[in-house]
């Protein structure tokens, strides 16, 4: 018999749904953060640094370090570890500050 946390509490979660990351479909589960959904899909980096373009993803996992910033539905600087994934979300890699297209 396979025991999972959900089966132990007799949870019946809603079905999985799809979000996208840089146009690629990713399956998300109800209640998952964007970071958790990306990690589950094997995606470990979704931001690059301002200086040097080094890849970044989740570091602290509790919204303190800001390494997990990403662009969600066109809105930059969203902390992927805190933002819940929603059906149809479009997540894109954030480059630098996330405001490069606003530079004057």
pLDDT digits (tens, 9 = 90+) for 51-62: 888 888 888 888
DSSP-based three-state secondary structure for 38: helix
Which residues lie below 8 Å from residue 62, measured CB to CB, with a gap of 6+?
A: 81
Q: Whole-model pTM?
A: 0.81
* pLDDT category of residue 104 using cuts at 50, 70 and 90: very low
In the chain, where are the structural domains located?
A: 15-96
At residue 49, the pLDDT reads: 87
User: Rounded to whole angstroms, how far apart are CA atoms 1 and 9?
Assistant: 15
Mean pLDDT of the chain: 89
Query: Comparing 25 with 13, which gets the higher pLDDT?
Result: 25
* pLDDT category of residue 86 using cuts at 50, 70 and 90: very high
Shortest CA distance to 86 belongs to which of 32, 21, 14? 32
Please state, as a whole number, how many other Cβ atoms lie within 10 Å of the Cβ of residue 6. 11
User: Rounded to whole angstroms, how far apart are CA atoms 97 and 75?
Assistant: 12
Q: State the architecture of 15-96 in CATH terms.
A: Roll (3.10)
């Amino acid at each position: 018999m396979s025991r999972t946390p959900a089966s132990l509490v007799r949870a019946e979660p809603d079905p999985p749904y799809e979000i996208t990351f840089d146009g690629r479909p990713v399956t998300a589960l109800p209640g998952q953060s964007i970071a958790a959904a990306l990690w589950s899909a094997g995606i470990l980096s979704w931001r690059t640094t301002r200086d040097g373009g080094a890849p970044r993803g989740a570091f602290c996992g509790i919204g303190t370090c800001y390494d997990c910033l990403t662009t969600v539905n066109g809105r930059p600087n969203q902390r992927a570890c805190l933002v819940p994934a929603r059906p149809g979300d479009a997540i894109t890699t954030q480059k630098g500050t996330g405001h490069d297209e606003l530079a004057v």
